[in-house]
Amino acid sequence: MSAQKAAPTTSIAMHTNEDIYIRDKSLCRELIGKLSFTEMIVFQMLGRMPSAGETAMVDACLVTLMEHGLTPSALATRLIYSGAPEAMQAGVAAGLMGVGSVFVGTMEGNAELLLEITAEPAGIEAAAKRIAQEHRAARKPLPGFGHHLHKPDDPRPIRLFALAEEHGMSGKHVAALKTLSAAIDEVYGKHITINATGAIAAVLMDCGVPAEILRGFALITRCAGLVGHIHEEQHKPAMRTIWEVSEEAIPYDGNVTGRP
């Protein structure tokens, strides 16, 4: 006779007539007015209160990723909102759909490399050089490295690494990323900058954030940024201009001629 499966449970939240409880703490008496939004994010997700250093670094990462200008996610949000202004959530959702393996979400790919490096019995230097050689030989993209605008270095990782040192939060994952960066420069014969998502992957992992939910932090902060784009679209509409410029920049190349 097969063993009966245990009934599913949740450890996140429950409520009574008098209060709401999150991770066994009273929302009204122990959390509201006591925790910052950043502290609450870590507490709700990981089930523990963050240290002061962890809070500072998670907060810095959220600030770093909030805004990127008129990137695909912001354009998608503005486009959908301009077509359905009664549904702000649809515009934001459209933008969040663009947080993937090319824009913003590349921290997951970088995290996989950092986990591989830190688990290498031969040491992080050997693992970093092997990964750099493998990626170059296969002509595979290096998640967390390179930027089309910021050269020779993306200024955001520089600031995040300095903050991590200041708060005593520069750990084995930041060390692994810096070692990988040095190996990449050596193997490729040129300098390739660490970008923001690479630095954020390392910093958040040193704060104890599991690799499998790193992209969630990007979604949280991009959500706020996309609401900002909607607010600007409400008061300074740009979508019509973007639409018209797109039509001019991409002409029709069919064979319809002489039609009235």
Which of 26, 24, 50 minimizes the C-alpha distance to 37? 50
Do 87 and 153 belong together in one domain? yes
- For residue 158, is it within any domain? yes
Do 206 and 220 belong together in one domain? yes
Amino acid at 55: T
pLDDT in tens, 160-192: 999 999 999 999 999 999 999 999 999 999 999
- For residue 184, is it within any domain? yes
Do 78 and 125 belong together in one domain? yes
pLDDT given for residue 259 in this prediction: 61
Query: Domain holding 209: CATH number?
Result: 1.10.230.10
Length of the chain: 260
- For residue 2, is it within any domain? no
The number of distinct structural domains making up the chain is 2
C-alpha 93/C-alpha 30 separation (Å) is 32
Do 44 and 62 belong together in one domain? no
Do 124 and 38 belong together in one domain? no
Do 36 and 115 belong together in one domain? no
Do 160 and 196 belong together in one domain? yes
Whether 55 and 38 have beta carbons less than 8 Å apart is answered as yes
pLDDT given for residue 1 in this prediction: 53
Do 81 and 194 belong together in one domain? yes
Q: How far is the first Cα of the chain from the last one, in angstroms, to the nearest whole number?
A: 78
Contacts of 85 (CB under 8 A, 6+ apart): 234
Do 142 and 242 belong together in one domain? yes
pLDDT given for residue 260 in this prediction: 58
Do 36 and 79 belong together in one domain? no
- For residue 95, is it within any domain? yes
- For residue 82, is it within any domain? yes
Do 165 and 237 belong together in one domain? yes
- For residue 1, is it within any domain? no
Which of 202, 247, 5 minimizes the C-alpha distance to 108? 202
- For residue 150, is it within any domain? yes
- pLDDT under 70 in the chain at which residues? 1-3, 104-105, 257-260
Range of the domain at 45: 11-50
Do 16 and 84 belong together in one domain? no
- For residue 253, is it within any domain? no
Q: In the structure encoding, which two tokens stand for residue 168, read together?
A: 């005593």
CB burial readout 228-250, b (16+ within 10 A) else e: ebbeebeeeeebeeeeeeeeeee
